[in-house]
Amino acid sequence: MPAPSPQRYRSQGRREGVDDAVLDNAVATFERIRAVDPRITPVLTLRHLSHLTDIPFLHLRDLVARHVHRPYKFFYLKKRIPSRNRVRMISVPNGTLMSLQRWIVDNILQFTRPHTASYAFHPECRPYEAAAEHCGCSWLLKIDLEEFFHTVSEGRVAAVFEGLGFPRLLSFELARLTTVACERRGPRPDPEERWPAIPHYQCEHEGMLPQGAPTSPMLANLAMLKTDEILSELAEEHGMTYTRYADDLAFSCGDKIDAEHVRRFKRLVLGKLNNSGFRPNHRKTVIRGPGTRRIVLGMLVDTERPRLPREYKDNIRMHLHYLTSESYGPSEHAASRKTSVSGIFHHVRGLIAWAETVEPDYGACALESFRSVDWPPLEPQRLR
C-alpha cells in the first residue's frame, strides 16, 4: 500500500483543515519510511493502523496495554537437547492478533533485508547456500544461541521499527503488538523509568518475541542485524567465513589457520555474543577440524559442494525398501511407524525433495524408486 504523494497529501489535508505542522511531520515520516524501501506501507499512528487493518482502535490500544485476555495460546515442547530450560514455549496468537501480525509481515517486514550473513526467515534465503559458503573448509566452529526469540525484548523490537522510519511512539506500540509479556523474563529492567509516559500502557513485565508468531522470525533477524555486522567484521579480521541460519552460527577457515587460533577466535565470538545480549548454548558449541566430519545445517561441507550425510541416505533407503517390498508395502510400513499412509507418503516425499536439492542425481534415483511404490487408490498419485 504505497504512500500518497506529498503534494496530494498536503492538498487533501489542507482541505480538511489539518494544521501545516501536522502535515509536515506526516510527510517527513512518509519520506523516512520510503527511504528504507518504497514498498513498505507507511503508518503514522495507532489509529492509522486501525484504519488500514480494519481492527477497532480501542482493541488495538488494549492489545498494546496488555489488557486483552489471553491474546496467545501457550503450549510446551520437550527439547531434544536440554539447555537452561527443558521445554520450549510456543506462543500462538489468537485470530485477531494473528491477522494483524500477518498484515505487518505482508506490508512491512517482507520488504526488509537481513544481513548478508543471514540465511533464514526470508524468501530469498536458502540453507543450501549457507552450507555452500563453508565447503572445502578445514576448521569449522559451530555455535547455537539459547532461547533465540525470547532473548529479543520489546525494546529491541521497538528500535527495529524506529530504524525503519516509524515514529517513536508507534514503534513502541508495534513492538507491543508483536511481543508477548511473560513472567519468565522477570520484571522490567528499568522499573523507575516510565516509558512510555502513558498510564494506560504501563506493564510490569517486559515483552519478548513469541516463538509461534508470524512476525517473530523476521523481527529476530532485524534485531540481530548489528550483531551480524560485528561478527562478520570479526570473522574477516581473523580469516574466517561467517553465516547464520536462525540461531545456528557457523564459522569456517582453511588449513592455514591452526587449532589454537580457532579456539581463541571462539572466545572472542562468545564474548561478542554475550555483550550483545545473546546467550550461547555451550553444549552445542563445537570445533571440528581435519579428520572429523564438518556438518552445517545437516550437510557435509568437507568437499567442494554440500553433500548429504550417510545416515540421511540410509534413512531414505530404509523407507524405500519397506515401501517397495511385496511382503510389506505402504500400509504395513505406515502402521509400524504409527502414522497414516498419507503421512508416510508426504514424509518420505519431503526427504527426497531435500535430497534433490543437495544431491540432484541421488535425489532423482530415489524419486524414481518412490514413484514405483504401489500406493493405495485413495492416496495422492500426483507427484511433483
Tens of pLDDT along 23-33?
A: 888 888 888 99
Residue 365 pLDDT greater than 80, yes or no: yes
- 164 and 263 in a common domain: no
Does 158 share its domain with 283?
Answer: no
Strand partners, 300: 295, 307
Q: 55 with 181, same domain?
A: yes
Decide if pLDDT at 256 tops 60: yes
Given a cut of 70, is residue 292 above it in pLDDT?
yes
- Say yes or no: 104 and 134 in one domain: no
Domain-embedded: residue 179: yes
- Position 381 in a domain: no
**Cα dihedral sign, 178-184-190-195:** positive
Range of the domain at 169: 41-108+153-208
Q: With respect to residue 138, please indicate whether it lies within any of the assigned structural domains.
A: yes
Considering the domain architecture, whether residues 51 and 138 belong to the same structural domain is answered as no
Asked whether residue 233 falls in the same domain as residue 252, the answer is yes
Question: What are the tens digits of pLDDT across the range 203-239?
Answer: 878 899 999 999 999 999 999 999 999 999 999 999 9
Do 167 and 231 sit in the same domain of this protein?
A: no
For residue 305, tell me if it sits in a domain: no
Same domain, 231 and 358: no
Q: Which of 278, 300, 322 is the last residue of a domain?
A: 300
Residues 56 and 80 in one domain: yes
- 226 and 339 inside one domain: no
Domain count, the chain: 4
134 in the same domain as 15: no
Both 226 and 330 in a single domain? no
For the chain, the average pLDDT equals: 89
